Structure 1
Amino acid sequence: MRQIVLDTETTGLNPRSGDRIIEIGCVELVNRRLTGNNFHHYINPERDSEEGALAVHGLTTEFLSDKPKFAEIADEFRDYIAGADVIIHNAPFDIGFLDAELKRVNTPTFKEHVGEVIDTLVQAKEMHPGKRNSLDALCDRYGISNAHRALHGALLDAELLAEVYLAMTRGQNSLSMDLGGGDVDSDGVVLEAVAIAPVQLQLASEEELAAHAVLVEGLDKQVKGQSIWRKLESESPES
């Protein structure tokens, strides 16, 4: 199972008003294990960032001026995400920007390139209703250190989100009892299905019951009273 945890940084909040992506960061999970096969690019948006956005990510126009434009990394990005399930925190925001960028290079929408899109913000709201469910809040809740996150960064946030997602979904994989199949546990270990033979109960024969009675009577004589077997028989709901 291949999953991509994705985050972006942008010049502002609205792609319809011309805001652009300035950074894409992705980390790869295969069978719930980080592979180190990451995708990361700073992108020249060909415009300035809004003041509020700049305060969040700190990526200046000067810093981004010599970085590739989205059209130059589009093919590499499409190849990287192709067919994978994608995990995003507040997915509509990032997908809206990605769709706008893909449209500029005459490419199908983001969801047409990938499998399932998993929104961890939606998951968190279902799991923790009424609580703060920002990435920082989830890091605190699941004991994931984000002390090194002075500013937002797409790759750093994707790495943190991967840890949050694994913590949120730990233990949700069930062990399949279908023969020939195997699930993956929360640590990425394949669980092999095991066939369990049905248990058949057989009642004791008259000879076996008679032999048991003789045995219990002998035990009574040895303890000069009721043996433990006799007491158990007397307490049995069927006696």
Structure 2
Amino acid sequence: MRQIILDTETTGLRVEDGNRILEIAAVEMIDRKLSPADRHLHRYINPGRDSEEGALNVHGLTTEFLADKPKFADIADEFLRFVEGAELIIHNAPFDVGYLNMELGKLGRGPITDYVSGVIDTLKMAKDTFPGKRNSLDALCDRFEIDRSGRTLHGALIDCELLSEVYLALTRGQDSLLIDFASGDAAADAASFSQGRPRKPLVRAAVPAADLAQHEEYLDVLDKSVKGTCLWRELTNPPAEAQ
């Protein structure tokens, strides 16, 4: 699977205020492995306007530095070719997608989703995984013990590199079963079962009467908490009409 970790820096927070993209980075990842640096895309862009003070304090890219850089129109085709057909991974995706759609719209192009297979928002993923906690990129790096000591200002490229590690950490459990299955022992066991290897009979363990009594007492507590019959008792003692 080809995925692109993407980040932009802009002249301000609100696209509705006429702000523009001034830096874009796209880092390629194939089958959860980052491609070499020469397969990444990183461009500074002349936005044609000054940055708002708050944004400038974040990214540090001055109007003078960007004066001789290409316009977005000059790099649009290169960018779209690079991301075409890939799945985008973005932290706070609505922000970057909104800016990309604005820039593409100015060129008479369709939205970014017309060119890619999908968009993953790692901020939403993090909020679902860690509800009620701080889920900024910095906070997630700290939570997953990802080194961000080289990051003094926000930059699209370094943020993409950090986000790639955060994404892999957020999704590591999703492919652990596949990794285990692919290991020699698991794969061999699965193959032998699929070939009809006889299984050993199940062992039925006798439960002491004292343990059964303690279990029933616990179920009584559950019955009171749900103000009825707990699901365990419904499953083990179905009504007569259901039997």
The runs of 4+ residues in structure 1 deviating greater than 6 Å are none
- Give a deviation string over 1:12-52, Cα, whole Å, max 9, x none: 01112210000001111000000021110000000000000
Question: Among 84, 92, 95, which residue is 1:93 paired with?
Answer: 95
Change (3 A) 1:73 1:201: closer
Change (3 A) 1:47 1:192: farther
CA shift for structure 1 position 201:
6.5
Partner residue, 1:198: 196
The one-letter code of the counterpart of 2:23 is E
CA shift for structure 1 position 198:
3.3
**Structural RMSD (CA):** 2.4
CA shift for structure 1 position 199:
4.2
- Give a deviation string over 1:174-223, Cα, whole Å, max 9, x none: 65xxxxxxx5x49x99x9794323344699xxxxxxxxxxxxxxxxxxxx
2: distance between equivalents of 1:202 and 1:152?
Answer: 59
Name the SS of the counterpart of 1:40 in structure 2.
Answer: strand
TM-score, structure 2 length as denominator?
Answer: 0.75
Partner residue, 2:6: 6
- Give a deviation string over 1:35-72, Cα, whole Å, max 9, x none: 02111000000000000000000000000000000000
2: distance between equivalents of 1:30 and 1:64?
Answer: 32
1: distance between equivalents of 2:3 and 2:103?
Answer: 22
Question: Among 107, 114, 117, which residue is 1:115 paired with?
Answer: 117
1: distance between equivalents of 2:200 and 2:161?
Answer: 58
1: distance between equivalents of 2:86 and 2:24?
Answer: 16
2: distance between equivalents of 1:40 and 1:46?
Answer: 19
Greater alpha carbon shift after TM alignment, 108-117 vs 57-66: 108-117
Name the SS of the counterpart of 2:174 in structure 1.
Answer: coil
CA shift for structure 1 position 167:
1.0
The one-letter code of the counterpart of 1:7 is D
Task: Please state if 1:52 is matched with 2:54.
Answer: yes
Number of aligned residues: 195
Of Structure 1 and Structure 2, the greater helix share is in 2
Change (3 A) 1:46 1:172: same
Of structures 1 and 2, the larger Rg is shown by: 1
Partner residue, 1:23: 23
Task: Please state if 1:62 is matched with 2:64.
Answer: yes
2: distance between equivalents of 1:50 and 1:192?
Answer: 57
Q: Give ranges in structure 2 of 5+ residues lacking alignment.
A: 207-243
Change (3 A) 1:29 1:192: farther
Task: Please state if 1:135 is matched with 2:137.
Answer: yes
1: distance between equivalents of 2:118 and 2:20?
Answer: 24
Question: Among 34, 42, 45, which residue is 1:43 paired with?
Answer: 45
1: distance between equivalents of 2:14 and 2:69?
Answer: 22
Partner residue, 1:126: 128
Q: Give ranges in structure 1 of 5+ residues lacking alignment.
A: 176-182, 204-235
CA shift for structure 1 position 80:
0.4
